[in-house]
Structure 1
Amino acid sequence: MFQKIKRFIDKYGMIKKNEKILVCLSGGPDSLFLAHFLLKYKKLYALKIYACHIDHCYRDSSYRDADFCRDFCRIAGIPFYCRKIHLDKFSEEKARKLRYEIFSDLARKLRCDKIATGHTLDDNAETVIMWLIRGCGIKGLLGIPPVRGNIIRPVLCVSKNEITNYLREKEISFCVDETNLREDFTRNKIRHRIIPEMCSINPKVREHLFSFSELWRNCDIDTFNKIKYNKKKIFNFILKEKTVYFDADKLDAASLSVRRIKSGDRMVPFGMSEKKKIQDIFVDDKVPRNIRHLIPVVVCGKKIIWLAGIRRSSDAKITGKTKNVLRMRYDRILPGSANLSECSG
């Protein structure tokens, strides 16, 4: 399991040598396992490890968790910091916001490079499901990112079961927060009711939800969010070539212009040597018929050099001898909003 986590860390470039890392230590199995992992690889990465525990003071026994974490850090030789927060009425979201503010402030004071949290596959699954239930946009499907700024989540690739099994096998004690068993919190209902039911259908549901989130994180979310729909249709079409580059010295700048498509238009697509009908390019690239007439055509004299957002031509290619480059960018391809947003050399 440790090797799997190390590969995960390396994949996302979470940790570099000689970094200072602040561990968010609750005393629960996940954060405790994270601390054990970092201690194991402390020499390999030449790390300096710190730990911070947040006492929410909403349980009479919460001081015991703080004492447990303090003792663990003393034995492990980790500098330990404890902070208390008081909320008149407990709110998961408010508590979370306060925690991150405290972690960020302490990390800044200690000059830590990274803040490490113990989020797992289960936490990601719960987050995705919770956002789906509440109703969310695409960003709600992204789940918990492995890296966000200076916040890293090294154990996001393993499940809670894997972690607790490891700790029990090694006879490592940890704290249990009894509020995690209360089902008056939405996340706990998802954790204790919904996910077990989903796992009865497919035991790999946590892994699949993580892969699902990862796919969305790798998408151009901003492009998806910019796509609008008219009253009749949603265009299932995204620009392929939003930015193109030409050898500026091979083009006559004075003869550059933008126009609409004309009947019989042809161009020599990049990578080809013969002209091809624009209509055939539309068919090959599955461009919807009802927006074809809206696509700008960039011409240099009588030659079409770019079917904006679709294909560029073989003219004025960049080579090793190119000295001046002309860059063109096209942002949108929607009814009434077609425009060349940028042209620079």
Structure 2
Amino acid sequence: MEDIVLRKLRQLAGAGHMLPPGSRVLAAVSGGADSMCLLHALLTLRASLDITVAAAHFNHQLRPEAEAEERFVRAWCAEHEVPCHTGRGNVAAQAAAAGTGIEETARQLRYAFLEDAAEQAGADRIATAHHAGDNAETVLLHLIRGSGLRGLGGIPPVRGKVIRPLLTVERREIEAYLARHCIPHVEDASNQDTAYRRNYLRREILPRLEQLNPRLNQRLWESACQFRREDAYLDGAASAILASLTRLPEGALSLPCGAVTALPEVLALRGIQLLAREADPETVLSAAHRQAVLNLCRSQHPSGQVDLPGGLVARRSYDQLELVRTSEPSGTFAPAALALPGVTLCGGWQFTCRQAVCPAGKFNRPRTFYLALPEHPRILLRPRRTGDVITLPGRDRKTVKKLLIDAKIPRRNRDALPVFDCEGVVCALTEFGADQAFLPQPGQLAWLVTANAIS
């Protein structure tokens, strides 16, 4: 009889079309029990599923044990001949510089690394080890916060190239699997700290709820699946609001107020969220914001406006609703040290750096370029300064200011492009690439830099 973990993984992967034959899977492996179970299970099933498997470990540099955990994952993968990709980032420092929370910053850096590692590995799937208990915690945390259907849908089994094939597996089944197969793992002591809400829920609340229903995790999984189906159906019905959408200059959107008010209220409120996402995919409106926009459309007054998150404004102009962006980038951001290697968040940009051999041909592109740097380089990402100069390949030396003006970069965006400062010298400029003096020769080991705008 097939092991219950393998059976559940195979069933969920099949139902969700997670692992079609020929899939190249990158497993996110922290070294903990869940991720070691995931990696071992995927390796066990790779022949029957016709997939290839590699591992990826990200060192958040948050705990003294982090270095030992990285060594553990490397060693286990080497012993079992599993390709292993590793990366690291100073999460605490970047969170402080960006003014974001530790958990949010850790997640951003980790997933950025996983995307980059998947590209290096040629993987078309990234597998994470979220299990049934994680999903139950997520559903209950969203319920406590007062979420709608989307939050109550819990952790999606598939999101883009990210798959979660253990979502129906219980934690006790994972522990039994590790014991049966003598698979070592590491323990994260911070998981015991009930000062964190998720840990408090896991250790103090869920055991009491399971006394009321021993199959709580399964029931919450079934409910979450139903909520996701209903959420998708309602989004589809609400998308009728977008049929009347007109795109205006500067990214503004317009549609008749009647397109909103003609829908039942539950669909109109959803349609307003869909409209906001058309303006900015990252925008999430609160229930109060959505209701305010609906009230604006219903109003007898021919004008009015509602301020929304992310610098968006909903304006009423007679019978038209317009969504416009009024806030411009401030152009100011805190300098940050470039992680070599690693992932760095700075000024609305994500920079990924790794060592690679410089190829022949055109390799100095605006968002992907190679840098020849001194040994133990210290690169600072900072706003431009008066007097900064750069010489792009095949072009004359210019001040950064003149270069940006000649390239017709809007004034509001010029100070938002991080400068790469190597001990006081500009070695590269975001959106333009490397300075001529820092270009490597083809075949030379150099630093490959990839830049992606995240805001």
Summarize deviations over 1:192-217 as a string: whole Å, max 9, x none. 11111111111111111111110011
Distance in 2 between residues matched to 1:119 and 1:14, nearest whole Å: 14
Among 221, 242, 245, the alignment partner of 1:210 is: 221
Q: Which runs of 5 or more residues in structure 1 are unaligned?
A: 228-233, 239-335, 337-345
Summarize deviations over 1:133-177 as a string: whole Å, max 9, x none. 122222111100111111111111101111011212332221100
Partner residue, 2:104: 93
Among 48, 54, 61, the alignment partner of 1:57 is: 61
Distance in 1 between residues matched to 2:36 and 2:222, nearest whole Å: 25
Among 73, 80, 84, the alignment partner of 1:76 is: 80
Map 1:30-69 → 2, pairs under 5 A: 30-69=34-73
Partner residue, 1:6: 10
Distance in 1 between residues matched to 2:143 and 2:239, nearest whole Å: 21
Query: Percent identity over the alignment?
Result: 33
Among 15, 22, 28, the alignment partner of 1:24 is: 28
| Letter of the structure 2 residue corresponding to residue 222 of structure 1 | D
Summarize deviations over 1:232-279 as a string: whole Å, max 9, x none. xx97999xxxxxxxxxxxxxxxxxxxxxxxxxxxxxxxxxxxxxxxxx
- Structure 1 segments, 4+ long, off by >6 Å, are 224-227, 234-238
Note if contact 2:149-2:228 (Cα within 8 Å) is conserved in structure 1: no
Among 103, 118, 125, the alignment partner of 1:114 is: 125
Among 207, 217, 222, the alignment partner of 1:196 is: 207
Note if contact 1:55-1:85 (Cα within 8 Å) is conserved in structure 2: yes
Q: CA deviation at 1:221?
A: 3.6
Q: Which has the larger radius of gyration?
A: 1
Q: CA deviation at 1:91?
A: 1.7
User: Aligned with 2:25: secondary structure?
Assistant: strand
Among 235, 240, 245, the alignment partner of 1:222 is: 235
User: Aligned with 1:51: secondary structure?
Assistant: strand
Q: CA deviation at 1:223?
A: 5.6
User: Aligned with 2:235: secondary structure?
Assistant: helix
- Does 1 or 2 have the higher relative contact order (CA < 8 Å, sep 6+)? 1
Q: Which runs of 5 or more residues in structure 2 are unaligned?
A: 96-100, 241-262, 268-318, 320-455
User: Aligned with 1:218: secondary structure?
Assistant: helix
| TM value normalised by structure 2 | 0.49
Partner residue, 1:175: 186
Question: Number of residue pairs matched?
Answer: 235
Distance in 2 between residues matched to 1:165 and 1:174, nearest whole Å: 13
Distance in 2 between residues matched to 1:121 and 1:190, nearest whole Å: 14
Q: CA deviation at 1:43?
A: 1.2
Note if contact 2:127-2:165 (Cα within 8 Å) is conserved in structure 1: yes
User: Aligned with 1:13: secondary structure?
Assistant: coil
Note if contact 1:121-1:158 (Cα within 8 Å) is conserved in structure 2: yes
| TM value normalised by structure 1 | 0.64
Distance in 2 between residues matched to 1:159 and 1:151, nearest whole Å: 20
